[in-house]
Every structure is written in C-alpha cells, then in structure tokens.
Amino acid sequence: MVTIMESFGFISAKSYLGKNVNLHLKDGAVIVNVQLKAIKQAELGKTKLLEYIPFGNIKSKKIPLNSIAYATMLNRSIMLAQS
C-alpha cells in the first residue's frame, strides 16, 4: 500500500518520524528508502531541516523541509519477504 500526501509540512513530517519512506522532492528527484529521524531548526533563519538516515548507512543527512513535495511510505514486510 502506498500513501501519497498532497502537501508536506511540519505536521506531515512529524507523522512519518521513525518510518521508512521515499522522499519526493519539488525538483522531481526522489530519495529512495530512508528512515526519517528528526526535524530540527536550522542554525540560521527559520528553516526547518528534516534529518534522515539512508538505508544501509549509519550517518544521518539533512534536507530543508520546504524542498520536499511529498513522501510515500514503504511496506517493509514486502521488502523483507523478497530477500
């Protein structure tokens, strides 16, 4: 089952924390299979950053929340059954 969100903001991102998702960016790119870790305030300005961990990595990365168009949740049981 795929869930698509119309707009992606602070409340939407907060509901996906700890889950594996695909992040669809406003420029058309997709960041595949990441786990959302936290939402943090940028050091300068009012920008909020979404912290995520790519699958298979230990180090987290950050992306501005306003550059994300929507997220699709992944079904981990299907991915685990295929391996």
Q: How far is CA 83 from the centre of its chain?
A: 23
Distance CA 34, CA 83 (A): 18
Distance CA 46, CA 11 (A): 16
pLDDT, one tens digit per residue, over 22-79 is: 999 999 999 999 999 999 988 888 889 999 999 888 899 999 999 999 999 987 666 5
Strands (E), the chain: 20-25, 30-41, 48-54, 61-64, 68-73
pTM: 0.79
Distance CA 66, CA 72 (A): 16
**One-letter amino acid for residue 54 of the chain:** P
Domains within the chain, CATH numbers bracketed: 10-82 (2.30.30)
Give the pLDDT band of residue 81 (cuts 50, 70, 90). Answer: low
